[in-house]
């Protein structure tokens, strides 16, 4: 449901006061990626155009943040207490990394927020011996599997970081391109630059409830069969215009996230 | 034996090729480093052959299979030196030491970012989105990315409601844009622009941000006349339900006219809802109710959907124009006219028990009333709005005229004695409301709002008694016709100026407002046989009422992680003056009141939330309860005291919410308490035919209401079903003075409910509701009970894309005094969509069981009534919807 992705930050922004999330403006390195993805059910709309979003991989020593441009700008706007800009993200997650762990932050149905901590070294990669060329950088291909998708990634040792988009951070180099077998998600590195901007300390956010990966997947499944009406009824609320039939938006089931980055 | 040799052979072969490079990674101080990538590279190509991440102890173990003679070991992690060493291709242990070293990261430019427009405006070329089957603008908007259109036409972009809908930069419909999108052909539109974060007030552009988007439609060069229509006919007797709506858009002038008519039970009063998000700088909205003082005595309407009993003949026409004078100045004219005729037919049988001092029943009053009434409503409303929207100032002003002429006429049988009643209610309102922004200092604004309203409310209530009406004064019985006249001219103005600012997590708002009200209230009673006779000053009221209120309101609100609070402290200085010309007295009241209120919300943890609030309020007797000579209305005589008294009330509530998302369990409940202390009590004298004389007494009395409810439910995800149970109780305690007997009356109401829903299949939706309720009135020693229950089933079936089918069943039962009243309803609806021509066919069959009357029992603190109301019979309606 495309709607719930858009509201991820709106809800965060409403509930999280800006001072809770410690932040400072400092210098760090920003690696920009372009994500081309298909967040829809391909059986229903096989010819729909994929979406394109810009992602930031902000790196400061052994810590990094992988977040879409839209979500990052919303955080900044909230800090400055301004209205957010025009860029919206349809991705419901963002990821941070601290040394040997990654933490995935995600919202379900716009009201519940969860985070999952996992070690960096979870995906098993098989490296191909051949080297290829990616925009004048020498890269090697590796293949691994993550939650139902087979990922092919290209990493380079020419960038002295062990980093990459999403959870692909345990390869012997810097991942410049990652795509899944169906080409539903394609991350591609564009450029890197030194920036002086806000760096967010996400570890201090207690709005996100920590759960295990298995629990998060279970919560998503449970939520898929609910509708907005049911969520409101759970809190004991009622629609204001009670006499009218509730609109389709309220009674439609959320459904499973169409074509998520991790299937299970 | 042979096999052992083979196994040994293979083992040695593999052992030969498999090499394990293991070791530890430490820093300069011999502290182990974890998460360091140790890779084995081909020394010539530098391609990685195998790798591993060092564990928490800094240890690594990498198996390598290679035919190369040498291998290069590389260890790297950020902000440490890179370790590289060439070794022989054989299993070994290697200690790696990394030195603290800043990792220099370079800026790299790989390829140009795709061009992303960060402009405020996105332009959609309609040709790219429109399909062959699309007819109207709404059909194409539904396909555009980011757009959502709801059933009633409300458009949202990226989930946000629009704050403006322009056609060629002009806002014709002022929020009611559904009439445009549902009827403007898409072929006449060249582009659709979405202006994200649209700030309609030019003065605030770039200063006060807006979250709402706006849409602007650009038309193709020719003038377009378009529209759509829905025509429905049905039977028994002849029924119709039609809507026609043509519109005209050109770059110079815009208008939209519409006409709706039906006699199939659809209430047109809610037609043309206005959508949109209203900014906080918008104008005041105020309406004074007219035509409420005098009315006929009529059976109360049943507690069921209006479409079941509305016997109507309704017409509604509207016209909307927009003229743009200059780039900054715009004028809107929106007018409508409605003509409505409704018939109502009902009967009621009421019982009132008079108790003596010991609480025993001394007398039982029973009376029956049966009525056949007709209500005619005719309203004309017109509104002119001028908006000046410039960079350095903002002003919005509208002026509204409302003229209505309502009539009521009915024949009532009171215990089988006929009484004719009629009411004439012509009224007139003229109102002006404005809002403007005044710059204050640097980038701060004060908002000034003002509203001025003049309303003339006139009514005449005529009763042809036929000798069947009782009067407080026996003398009046000699008149065949009685006429009660009423006139209320009121002038109202409210003006406010407000400023708000933020400090950390707090927001403070100061608002100062000034309210002035002046009313003239005149009533007279006349009797008529051959000539009209004025019945004297005992039945005359001539009041002038002035009210002046100064209000300073301070609000502080806090928004934290777990706590959310709002504190309001208004200081109100009221000065009221009542001038009674009939007895030549003046009554004044000056008061300074505090009306504090608090709202708290505490999120205990992710599953539990507690909320609560309390408020204290002082209100003063309104003019409608300050007349001290009788007014005759609804066959009753009412008189109050001409004294302005205060009423104190305290309202408190507490609420809890629990939700466990893991097992789908949820629970919530609330407690509510309302305590009111009044200085005036109403004494009612009810005689044997139900007519009441109401007089006000100086006596302090208290009314106390408490209620509680709890809901519990569970969501079964595997079956996509929801089961919910609920319970609520409501207790009301008040003092009544009826037929000279003063006593406390308690009424209790208990409701138990159960609800089941199921959405397992996409093509089938099922909902079942069950309700059981119990009402008790405890009047000293006397208790009166009534019970009821209801069952409600709704099934939606969508077997194929173009067909949908809805079946509803409603069963209600009321039990009182060993009598059972049941009401059953069943409806069916079938819709066929002809996608190719964009035509819809609807077949509706309502009230299949032909339930002709609705029976219910109503218990309140004074009386018990069983009412019977005539319903619309079974009807069938076929409608076709198409575009011009």
Of B39, B159, B666, the CB nearest to A172: B39
Mean pLDDT of B639-653: 90
3-state secondary structure of B289: coil
Instruction: Dump pLDDT digits (tens) for B183-206.
Output: 777 777 877 888 877 778 776 665
B823 exposed, middle or buried (CB, 10 Å; 0-12, 13-18, 19+)?
buried
What is the number of CB-based contacts under 8 A between chain A and chain B? 182
A252 pLDDT band, cuts 50/70/90, is confident
The count of domains in chain A is 1
B254 pLDDT band, cuts 50/70/90, is confident
* Beta strand segments in chain A, E: 23-37, 51-60, 63-68, 93-98, 101-108, 112-119, 125-134, 137-146, 149-156, 174-180, 185-200, 209-211
B670 touches chain A (CB under 8 A): yes
Q: What is the pLDDT of residue A10?
A: 43
**A173 to B48: CB separation less than 8 angstroms, yes or no:** yes
Mean pLDDT of B829-849: 84
Q: Which of B186, B172, B184, B360 is nearest to B252 (CA)?
A: B172
Q: What is the pLDDT of residue B2?
A: 60
Q: Which of B700, B570, B712, B613 is nearest to B648 (CA)?
A: B700
Domains B2-98 and B717-884 belong to one CATH topology = no
A219 pLDDT band, cuts 50/70/90, is confident
Residue-range definition of the domain harbouring residue A74 = 2-204
Q: What residue in B sits closest to A108 (Cα-Cα)?
A: B661
Cis-peptide, bond into residue B375, ω within 30° of zero = no
Q: Give the phi and the psi of residue B139 in degrees, each rounded to 5.
A: -60, -40
Of B74, B107, B114, the CB nearest to A52: B114
Domain assignment present for residue A227? The answer is no
Residue B434 has pLDDT above 70, yes or no: yes
Residue A58 has pLDDT above 90, yes or no: yes
State the ipTM, two decimals.
0.79
Instruction: Give, in order, the Cα–Cα distances in Å from B136 to each of A248, B140, B156, B188, B883.
Output: 21, 7, 17, 9, 8
Q: What is the pLDDT of residue B751?
A: 94
Instruction: Give, in order, the Cα–Cα distances in Å from A16 to each of A75, B304, B861.
Output: 10, 44, 49
Domain assignment present for residue A18? The answer is yes
Residue B130 has pLDDT above 70, yes or no: no
Residues B319 and B257: beta-carbon distance below 8 Å? yes
Q: Does domain B717-884 have CATH number 2.40.160?
A: yes
Of B37, B78, B107, the CB nearest to A192: B107
> Domain boundaries in chain B?
2-98, 118-409+423-461, 717-884
Q: What residue in A sits closest to B766 (Cα-Cα)?
A: A251
Most confident residue range from A164-178, A221-235, B291-305 = A164-178
Q: What is the pLDDT of residue B204?
A: 66
> Rounded distance, CA B342 to CA B263, Å?
9
Q: What is the pLDDT of residue A12?
A: 44
B387 pLDDT band, cuts 50/70/90, is confident
For B880, half-sphere exposure in the C-beta direction (CA atoms, 13 angstrom radius) is: 7
Residues B392 and B203: beta-carbon distance below 8 Å? yes
Instruction: Give, in order, the Cα–Cα distances in Å from B541 to each of A126, B519, B525, B546, B623.
Output: 97, 13, 10, 16, 12
Q: Mark which residues 159-198 of B lie under 8 Å from A by CB.
A: 159, 196-197
Give the dihedral sign, CA B4/B9/B12/B18: negative
- Determine the topology of domain B2-98 in CATH: Immunoglobulin-like (2.60.40)
Residue B807 has pLDDT above 70, yes or no: yes
Q: How many residues does chain B have?
A: 884
B107 touches chain A (CB under 8 A): yes
Q: Which of B512, B278, B287 is nearest to B396 (CA)?
A: B278
Domain assignment present for residue A230? The answer is no
Q: What is the pLDDT of residue A88?
A: 76
Q: What residue in B sits closest to A7 (Cα-Cα)?
A: B159
Q: What is the pLDDT of residue B159?
A: 64
Q: Kindly state the tokens that stand for B55.
A: 């564990």
Domain assignment present for residue A209? The answer is no
Residues B29 and B100: beta-carbon distance below 8 Å? no
DSSP state of A205: -
**B53 to A20: CB separation less than 8 angstroms, yes or no:** no
> Rounded distance, CA B35 to CA A97, Å?
12
Q: Kindly state the tokens that stand for B512.
A: 């100062």
What is the distance in angstroms between the CA of the first residue and the CA of the last residue of chain B?
94
Of B49, B113, B197, the CB nearest to A54: B113
Residues of chain B with pLDDT > 70, as a percent, come to 88
Mean pLDDT of A139-145: 93
H-run or E-run covering B772: strand B764-779
Q: What is the pLDDT of residue B802?
A: 80
Residue B132 has pLDDT above 80, yes or no: no
**A15 to B50: CB separation less than 8 angstroms, yes or no:** no
User: Greater confidence, B240 or A248?
Assistant: B240
Q: What is the pLDDT of residue A18?
A: 39
Residue B611 has pLDDT above 80, yes or no: yes
Instruction: Give, in order, the Cα–Cα distances in Å from A29 to each of A163, A203, B450.
Output: 12, 20, 54
Give the dihedral sign, CA B25/B27/B31/B36: negative
3-state secondary structure of B131: coil
Lowest-confidence region among A115-124, B350-359, B620-629: B350-359
Domain assignment present for residue A188? The answer is yes
Taking residue B834's Cβ as centre, other Cβ atoms within 10 Å add up to 12
Residues 6+ apart with CB under 8 A from B447: B280, B281, B435, B436, B437, B438, B497, B498
Of A161, A209, A227, the CB nearest to B78: A161
Residues B113 and A96: beta-carbon distance below 8 Å? no
B672 touches chain A (CB under 8 A): no
Residue B158 has pLDDT above 70, yes or no: no
Average pLDDT, chain B: 84
Residues of chain B with pLDDT > 90, as a percent, come to 36
* Beta strand segments in B467-596, E: 481-503, 506-528, 532-534, 541-559, 563-580, 585-594
Residue B112 has pLDDT above 60, yes or no: no
User: Greater confidence, A41 or B869?
Assistant: B869
Residue B213 has pLDDT above 60, yes or no: yes
Instruction: Give, in order, the Cα–Cα distances in Å from B106 to each of A134, A135, A188.
Output: 17, 15, 18
Taking residue B172's Cβ as centre, other Cβ atoms within 10 Å add up to 26
Instruction: Dump pLDDT digits (tens) for B479-538.
Output: 889 999 999 999 999 999 888 766 677 777 788 999 999 999 999 999 988 888 998 888
Mutate to test the interface with B, among A209, A234, A247 (most CBs of B within 10 A): A234
Taking CA B711 as the corner, what is the angle to CA B710 and CA B714, rounded to the nearest 5 degrees?
Answer: 150
Domain assignment present for residue A94? The answer is yes
B46 touches chain A (CB under 8 A): yes
What is the distance in angstroms between the CA of the first residue and the CA of the last residue of chain A?
17
Lowest-confidence region among A244-258, B498-512, B793-807: A244-258
Region label for A225, one of left (φ > 0), alpha (ψ between -120 and 50) or beta (otherwise):
alpha
> Rounded distance, CA B443 to CA B204, Å?
9
DSSP state of A92: -
Instruction: Dump pLDDT digits (tens) for B258-302.
Output: 898 999 888 877 655 556 555 556 777 787 888 888 999 888 888
Domain assignment present for residue A256? The answer is no
Give the dihedral sign, CA A223/A225/A227/A233: negative
Q: What is the pLDDT of residue A17?
A: 40
């Amino acid at each position: 449901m495309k709607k719930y992705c858009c509201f991820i930050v709106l809800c965060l922004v409403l509930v999280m006061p800006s001072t809770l999330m410690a932040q400072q403006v400092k210098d760090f390195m920003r690696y920009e990626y372009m994500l081309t993805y298909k967040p829809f059910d391909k059986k229903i709309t096989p010819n729909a155009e994929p979406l394109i979003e810009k992602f930031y991989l902000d790196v400061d020593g052994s810590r990094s943040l992988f977040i879409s441009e839209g979500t990052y700008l919303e955080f900044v706007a909230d800090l400055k207490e301004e209205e957010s800009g025009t860029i919206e993200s349809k991705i419901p997650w963002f990821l941070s990394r601290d040394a040997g762990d990654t933490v995935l932050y995600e919202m379900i149905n716009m009201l519940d927020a969860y985070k999952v901590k996992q070690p960096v070294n979870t995906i098993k990669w098989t490296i191909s011996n051949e080297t290829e060329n990616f925009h004048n950088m020498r890269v090697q291909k590796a293949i691994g599997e993550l939650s139902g998708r087979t990922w092919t990634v290209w990493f380079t040792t020419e960038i002295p970081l062990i980093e990459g988009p999403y959870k692909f951070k345990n390869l012997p180099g810097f991942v410049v391109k990652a795509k899944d077998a169906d080409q539903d998600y394609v991350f591609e590195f564009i450029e890197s630059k030194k920036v002086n901007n806000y760096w967010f300390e996400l570890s201090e956010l207690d709005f996100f409830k920590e759960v295990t990966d298995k629990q998060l997947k279970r919560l998503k499944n449970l939520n898929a069969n609910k509708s907005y009406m049911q969520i409101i009824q759970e809190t004991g609320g009622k629609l204001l215009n009670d006499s009218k039939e509730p609109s389709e938006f309220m009674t439609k089931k959320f459904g499973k996230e169409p074509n998520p980055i991790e299937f299970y | 034996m042979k096999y052992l040799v083979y196994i040994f052979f293979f083992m040695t072969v593999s052992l030969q090729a498999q090499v394990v490079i293991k070791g530890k990674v430490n820093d300069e101080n011999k502290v182990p480093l974890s998460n360091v990538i140790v890779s084995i590279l081909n020394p010539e190509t530098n391609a990685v052959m195998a790798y591993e991440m060092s564990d928490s102890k800094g240890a690594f173990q990498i198996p390598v299979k290679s035919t190369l003679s040498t291998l290069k070991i590389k260890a790297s992690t950020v902000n440490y030196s890179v370790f590289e060493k060439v070794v022989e291709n054989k299993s070994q242990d290697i200690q790696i030491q990394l030195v603290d070293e800043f990792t220099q990261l370079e800026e790299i430019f790989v390829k140009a970012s795709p061009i992303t427009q960060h402009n405020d405006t996105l332009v959609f070329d309609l040709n790219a989105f429109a399909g062959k089957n699309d007819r109207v603008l709404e059909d194409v908007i539904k396909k555009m990315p980011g757009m959502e259109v709801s059933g009633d036409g409300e458009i949202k972009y990226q989930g946000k409601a629009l704050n403006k809908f322009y056609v060629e930069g002009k806002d014709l419909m002022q929020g009611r844009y559904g009439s445009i999108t549902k009827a403007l052909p898409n072929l006449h539109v060249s582009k659709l622009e979405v202006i994200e974060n649209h700030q309609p007030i030019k003065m605030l552009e770039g200063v006060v941000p807006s979250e709402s988007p706006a849409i602007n439609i650009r038309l193709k060069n020719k003038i377009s006349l378009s529209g759509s229509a829905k025509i429905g006919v049905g039977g028994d007797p002849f029924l119709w339900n039609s809507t026609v709506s043509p519109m005209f858009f050109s770059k110079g002038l815009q208008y939209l006219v519409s006409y709706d008519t039906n006699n199939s039970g659809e209430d047109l009063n809610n037609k043309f809802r206005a959508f949109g998000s209203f900014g906080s700088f918008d104008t005041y909205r105020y309406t004074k109710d007219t035509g409420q003082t005098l009315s006929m005595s009529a059976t109360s309407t049943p507690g069921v959907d209006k479409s079941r009993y509305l016997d109507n003949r309704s017409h509604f026409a509207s016209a909307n124009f927009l003229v743009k004078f200059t780039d900054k100045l715009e004028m809107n004219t929106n007018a409508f006219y409605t003509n409505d005729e409704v018939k109502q037919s009902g009967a009621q049988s009421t019982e009132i028990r008079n108790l003596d001092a010991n609480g025993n029943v001394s007398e039982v009053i029973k009376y029956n009333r049966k009525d056949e009434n007709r209500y005619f409503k005719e309203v004309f409303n017109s509104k002119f709005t001028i908006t000046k929207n410039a960079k350095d100032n903002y002003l919005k002003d509208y002026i509204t005229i409302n003229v209505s002429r309502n009539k009521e006429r009915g024949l009532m049988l009171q215990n089988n004695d006929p009484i004719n009643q009629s009411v004439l209610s012509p009224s007139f309102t003229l109102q002006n409301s404005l809002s403007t922004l005044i710059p204050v200092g640097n980038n701060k604004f004060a908002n000034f709002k003002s509203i001025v309203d003049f309303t003339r409310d006139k009514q005449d209530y005529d009763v042809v008694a036929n000798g069947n009406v009782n009067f407080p004064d026996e003398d009046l019985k000699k008149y065949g016709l009685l006429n009660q006249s009423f006139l209320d001219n009121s002038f109202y103005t409210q003006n406010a100026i407000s400023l708000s600012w933020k400090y950390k997590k707090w927001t403070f708002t100061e608002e100062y407002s000034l309210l002035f009200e002046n009313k003239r209230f005149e009533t007279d009673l006349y009797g008529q046989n051959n000539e009209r006779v004025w019945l004297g000053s005992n039945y005359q009221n001539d009041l002038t009422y002035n009210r002046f209120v100064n209000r300073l309101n301070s609000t502080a609100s806090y928004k934290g992680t777990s706590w959310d609070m709002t504190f309001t402290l208004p200081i109100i200085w009221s000065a009221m003056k009542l001038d009674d010309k009939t007895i030549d007295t003046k009554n004044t009241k000056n008061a300074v009141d505090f009306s504090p209120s608090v709202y708290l919300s505490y999120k205990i943890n992710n599953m539990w939330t507690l909320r609560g609030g309390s408020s204290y309020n002082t209100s003063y007797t309104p003019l409608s309860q300050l007349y001290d000579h009788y007014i005759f209305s609804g066959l009753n005589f009412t008189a109050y005291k001409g004294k302005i008294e205060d009423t104190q009330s305290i309202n408190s509530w507490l609420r809890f919410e629990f939700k466990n998302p893991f097992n789908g369990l949820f629970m919530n409940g609330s407690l509510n308490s309302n305590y009111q202390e009044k200085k005036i009590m109403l004494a009612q004298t009810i005689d044997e035919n139900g007519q009441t004389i109401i007089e006000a007494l100086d006596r302090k009395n208290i009314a106390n209401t408490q209620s509680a409810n709890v809901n519990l439910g569970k969501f079964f995800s595997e079956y996509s079903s929801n089961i919910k149970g609920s319970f609520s109780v409501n207790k009301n305690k008040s003092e009544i003075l009826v037929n000279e007997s003063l006593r406390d009356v308690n009424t209790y109401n208990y409701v138990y409910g159960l609800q089941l829903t199921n959405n397992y299949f996409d093509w089938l939706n099922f909902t079942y509701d069950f309700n059981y309720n119990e009402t008790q009135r405890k009047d000293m020693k006397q208790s009166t009970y009534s019970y009821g229950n209801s069952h409600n089933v709704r099934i939606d079936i969508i077997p194929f894309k173009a067909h949908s089918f809805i079946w509803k069943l409603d069963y209600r039962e009321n039990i009182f005094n060993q009598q059972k009243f049941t009401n059953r309803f069943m409806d069916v609806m079938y819709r066929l969509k002809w996608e190719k021509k964009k035509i819809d066919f609807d077949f509706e069959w309502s009230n299949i069981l032909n339930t002709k009357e609705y029976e219910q029992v109503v218990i309140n603190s004074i009386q018990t009534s069983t009412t019977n109301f005539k319903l619309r019979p079974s009807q069938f309606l076929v409608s076709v919807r198409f575009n011009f």
